[in-house]
Amino acid sequence: MNPDDLAFLTALHQDPEVMKYIGMSRSQEMVAARLEKIIAKYSERAGFGIWMACLIDSDVAIGWACLKDLDGSTYDEIGYRLATDYWGKGYATELAIALVSYAFTSLNLAEISGVSNPDNLGSIAVLRKAGLIFRRKAQYYDSIVDYFSLTKEGWLRKSVDSGDSLLSKS
């Protein structure tokens, strides 16, 4: 992300459908302040952050994806947020699968987490398609959420069991 992304991010965070399960709409000032913090955090933990998600063939921004600490906890979280025009096209699943693979192959994490509002069935489906398993209800981001996780061992086992070529890519 960079300051040039402010207009897109403001529109994303003011869309009632995007924010339905997340919380209140955010003003441009709120988004700008958050963007400044995101950019500053890139240097704190190598390989972690929040990145713009763009279409490969045109560089059109469609949302963002992240790998970061889960609400200040010791857990590492994948996350994603897409503009509504890009819902239902498999992009969130593609992002989540790529984040999981990156976390385990490039960063060698032992475990990855994801959370969702229990009513957000689309997001829950994405986490499951990325291999994460529902573990429990938990409180993060001042809400009761469904907490999912996947260990590297479990991911490797699923990759072998499915005949996936992920192992050869690492």
Report, at the CATH architecture level, how domain 3-169 is classified: 3-Layer(aba) Sandwich (3.40)
User: DSSP H helical segments within the chain, as ranges?
Assistant: 6-13, 16-19, 28-41, 91-105, 121-129, 152-162, 166-169
Higher-confidence position of 7 and 167: 7
| Placement of tokens 């609400």 in the chain | 71
CA 152 vs CA 19, 69, 100, 149: distances in Å: 31, 17, 9, 10
Percent of the chain with pLDDT over 90: 79
pLDDT at residue 103 in the model? 97
Domain ranges of the chain: 3-169
Q: What pLDDT band is residue 160 in, cutting at 50, 70 and 90? A: low
> What tens digit of pLDDT does each residue of 75-102 get?
999 999 999 999 999 999 999 999 999 9
> What tens digit of pLDDT does each residue of 21-43 get?
998 889 999 999 999 998 888 88
Closest among 88, 35, 41 to 64, alpha carbons compared: 35
CB atoms within 10 A of CB 162: 10
pLDDT at residue 153 in the model? 95
Q: Could you tell me the two tokens for 24?
A: 């209140």
Mean pLDDT of the chain: 91
